[in-house]
Structures are given as C-alpha cells and as structure tokens.
Amino acid sequence: MPGNKTNNALISVVIPSYNEEGNIDKIASYVVEQLTKPEYPFEIIFVDDGSTDSTLEKLIQLNRKDARIKFLSLSRNFGHQSALIAGLDFAAGDAVISMDADLQHPPELLPKLISKWEEDYDVVYTRRKEDQELPYLKRKTSKMFYKFINIFSDIKLEPGTSDFRLMDKKVVSVIKELPENNLFIRGLIKWVGFKQYCIEYIPQKRNDGESKYSYRKMISLAISGVTSTSIFPLRIASVMGFIISIAAFGYSLVVLYDYYFTNKNLSGWTTLIIAILFLGGAQLITLGIIGEYLGKLLIQSKGRPKYIIKKTYEETRNQEYPA
C-alpha cells in the first residue's frame, strides 16, 4: 500500500493562476480526484497572480466547500515564476508539486510523481514530448527558448521541461532560502542537484482561455533564464573584443602597406563603412549585455520582496465567519 514514505506525510500542490476562471473548478476537482488515490493527506494552494477576472471569487468559493483547497492572492501580476515562489513559501507539504492551471499538465500523472518520490527521488520532473497538436509557433518558440538558454548559460536544460514537477521538502527549503529575485526555477532545479527522475508526458491542449505567456513574457523569461544562471554572455563580450582587435591589427598592416608601397590609399570607403557599422553594433550589444547584468544587480540590491500578498484564504475565512 502506498502512503508509507513517512506516516502522515502531507502533499502540497501549488497552482499559479492568472485569469483562469474557466479552468479553476476543473483542475481543482481533477487534482482532488487524483490525490485521493495515494492516500496521503494533501493541500492544494492556488496562487492568484493578480487576475482581473473572477479567478479569486472562484477560489474563495472552492475554499468554502473544501478547506484543503487554499489560495493566496497577489497584489498585482508578478509573473508565473514569482507566483510559483509565493506558493512554495506557503506550502507545508513533505513533497510539493507545482503545475499549471490550464490542464496542460495531466493530473493523472500525480500518483506517478508521488510514487517516484516514495522510491526516494528528491525531484521528479517532467518533460513534454513533442506534440504535433500544439500550435506550430508555440512549438518553434519553445524550441528556440531551450536552445537560447543552452547556448548562453552554464546549465543544460532538456527541451520540454516545464514547471510541472514534484520536489521534496528539503529541495523546496533550499529554493525558498535563495535571496535572489527574478528567479528561473527550472534552471535552479538543475543547479541544486539532488536525486532527480524524469517522467515524459504528452501535453494536453489548454482547457479554456488563451496562453498567459505573451511573447514579451517569454523573451524576458529566456533572458532571466540566462542571466540568473550564468555570466557566460559577459565572457562573449571579451572574446568578441579580443577577436576584433586581432582582426583590426591584421587589417591595419594591410592598410599601412597600401599607404607606403602602393597608390591605392584613397580607396576603401566600403571597408570603412562596414568596419564602423560592425564595431558600432558589437559595442552596443556588449553594452546591452553589461546593462542587463547591471540592471539585475540594481534590482537585487533594492531587496524588494519577490511578491506581495493581498489576501489569503485565512483572512477570507475570518472575514466571512467572524469569531
């Protein structure tokens, strides 16, 4: 019989939700259904990431019906990663599972994640198989996302790993204690180590509504994925500078030769303009890279919280049922 990892171990499921009014009830009931199988006590923690639809009202109703379904509501939209961290901070479980609200992460996998945890894996992460059903552009941009991170950072992410995973509480406490904001949890999970197991799955179509990851959010996630895990891009700048200097030295020999020994010294407008444009571009890129890291440093030095909580299920309960 399952359920003997430790007696009365608690499972937490964290679900960041941004304008998911059409998915909340469904995902909650599916997760409850799946979690009654492994016979562990559980809690579901929805994190309302500043939704402007009726997500929060739905969550309040769910919590009234079933006290195991809890929620936090953030004061504005802080983004998926911050919402996830808020949920981790709040989760009391011996194992914490994170998943999306839109049913793309199949709840049927939950018992399997838990059973791998019972086999003593500390992180059970998932990897989505390439799925022809997903829109072409989503597949392509997702591929580019992993390529970009793998080229420009020190960690190697397997394509298709998402934030659908189980973490033992000792991994959660390591992640929670990291002081850095602008987190890229997928990268951190690779970085922390521990005993990890990968499960593959076929993603489902989003149940209701549209993807909440705009292209802008995706690009910013990719950049923070790189800058928060490595300083490799800074090194590219020095390497580029080095190569250009060598080339410039070689070419200046050619120019000097022309000047002293031939009559060609007025030609070369094309070379000149190419050199100016190329160097200008290279310098701007380098400045941009340095700026990116400097900006991160500035934001970090302000020491602002990663998220702000507006309301939790506890307050709502007290408000609705005064003692």
The contact set with ligand UDP (CB under 6 A) reads 16-18, 20, 49, 77, 79-80, 83, 100-102, 104, 206, 211-213
135 or 268: CB nearest Mg ion: 135
- 7 has which bridge partners? none
Cα separation of 84 and 80, whole Å? 6
Residue 224 site contact among Mg ion, ligand UDP, none (CB < 5 to 8 Å, cut-off depends on kind): none
Question: In this structure, which amino acid lies at residue 146?
Answer: Y
Closest separation in Å from C-beta 127 to Mg ion? 15
Residue 77 site contact among Mg ion, ligand UDP, none (CB < 5 to 8 Å, cut-off depends on kind): ligand UDP
Cα separation of 108 and 164, whole Å? 12
Residue 5 site contact among ligand UDP, Mg ion, none (CB < 5 to 8 Å, cut-off depends on kind): none
Of residues 286 through 315, those in contact with Mg ion by CB under 5 A are none
Of 313, 309, 317, which Cα lies nearest the Cα of 82?
A: 309
* DSSP one-letter code for 108: G
Question: In this structure, which amino acid lies at residue 224?
Answer: S
| 163 makes contact with Mg ion (CB under 5 A) | no
Q: How many residues does the chain have?
A: 323
Residue 48 site contact among ligand UDP, Mg ion, none (CB < 5 to 8 Å, cut-off depends on kind): none
Contacts with Mg ion, 63-102, as mask; x by CB under 5 A: -------------------------------------x-x
* DSSP one-letter code for 202: P
191 or 213: CB nearest Mg ion: 213
87 or 233: CB nearest ligand UDP: 87
137 or 253: CB nearest ligand UDP: 137
Closest separation in Å from C-beta 319 to ligand UDP? 24
Contacts with Mg ion, 98-137, as mask; x by CB under 5 A: --x-x-x---------------------------------
**Sign of torsion, CA 99 104 105 109?**
positive
100 or 163: CB nearest Mg ion: 100
Cα separation of 149 and 228, whole Å? 11
- 125's tokens: 């992460």
- 85's tokens: 């961290």
102 or 168: CB nearest ligand UDP: 102
Residue 233 site contact among ligand UDP, Mg ion, none (CB < 5 to 8 Å, cut-off depends on kind): none
- 168's tokens: 């033992």
At which residue do the structure tokens 């500390």 appear?
Answer: 122
Closest separation in Å from C-beta 144 to Mg ion? 17
Question: In this structure, which amino acid lies at residue 18?
Answer: Y
Of 222, 140, 218, which Cα lies nearest the Cα of 187?
A: 222
| 20 makes contact with Mg ion (CB under 5 A) | no
Residue 122 site contact among Mg ion, ligand UDP, none (CB < 5 to 8 Å, cut-off depends on kind): none
Report residue 162: phi and psi, to 5°.
-125, -165
Closest separation in Å from C-beta 100 to Mg ion? 5
- 219: exposed, middle or buried (C-beta count within 10 Å: 0-12, 13-18, 19+)? middle
Q: Given the rule CB under 5 A, which residues bind Mg ion?
A: 100, 102, 104
